[in-house]
Amino acid sequence: MRVLLVEDDPILAGQLAEEFSLAGYVVESAHNGVDGHHLGAVEAFDAVVLDLGLPQMDGISVLKKWRAAGRSMPVLILTARDAWHEKVDGIDAGADDYLAKPFHMEELLARVRALIRRAAGHASAEISCGPVVLDTRSGRVSLDGRSLTLTSHELRVLSYLMHHKGEVVSRTDLIDHIYAQEFDRDSNTIEVFIGRLRKKLPPELIKTARGLGYRLVCPE
Ligand code: CA
């Protein structure tokens, strides 16, 4: 899962990037409204954490511009404490959730996980596909109740497929959502991760949609 963090305070921005990376996300950061708006307008993200008080363009304007352009990724805004009008403005501008500063990092991570799940149509913290269960809180995967050992990239690929089960997911989608921008984005590596996942999972679960990508087919 790929998140965009737009926060101008250098200390908080650093903490956010570190915590989200540790939690297994691919992180892109912007430190002002103009850069943040640009990234969110042209790149694909599974969620955005958007500070409202930003240099160059404020967060509400950034969010309004994204929504006006049809960008529908879930956005959580960070508001100043006790500034209830910011929450109202933010929700009116298209925010999906908000958190007032100062906040506990655990709560932010939990809220972002919930936003990503809800955007994918899953209300529960666990997503299952036949005998495979992904716990989105811990990032653990089990098969028939037994814990599976996956590398971080295998987990990212499987997690993206689980959040979009039944849908065709293109290689480009997978590359966008599992690699950081500066990483060598070789689409052949996706095939390698898919091949490894097929060995660890029931092989018929991940179908190849020829020329289009992959589809997770769940026996119900
Ligand atoms: Ca700020």
Residues 175, 184 contacting (CB under 8 angstroms): no
CA of 60 to the centre of ligand 1 (A): 12
* d(C-alpha 111, C-alpha 50), whole Å: 13
Q: What is the CA radius of gyration of the chain?
A: 18
Residues 47, 94 contacting (CB under 8 angstroms): no
Structure tokens at 83: 């500034």
CA of 8 to the centre of ligand 1 (A): 5
Residues 74, 119 contacting (CB under 8 angstroms): yes
Note the pLDDT tens digit of each residue in 2-57. Answer: 999 999 999 999 999 999 999 999 999 999 999 999 999 999 899 999 999 999 99
Whole-number pLDDT of residue 121 = 84
Mean pLDDT of the chain: 92
CA of 187 to the centre of ligand 1 (A): 37
CA of 127 to the centre of ligand 1 (A): 35
Asked if residue 107 has pLDDT above 80, the reply is yes
Which domains, ranges and CATH numbers included, belong to the chain? 2-119 (3.40.50.2300), 126-216 (1.10.10.10)
CA of 7 to the centre of ligand 1 (A): 6
| pLDDT confidence band for 77 (50 / 70 / 90) | very high
Q: Is the pTM of this model over 0.85?
A: no
Whole-number pLDDT of residue 80 = 83
CA of 209 to the centre of ligand 1 (A): 44
CA of 98 to the centre of ligand 1 (A): 14
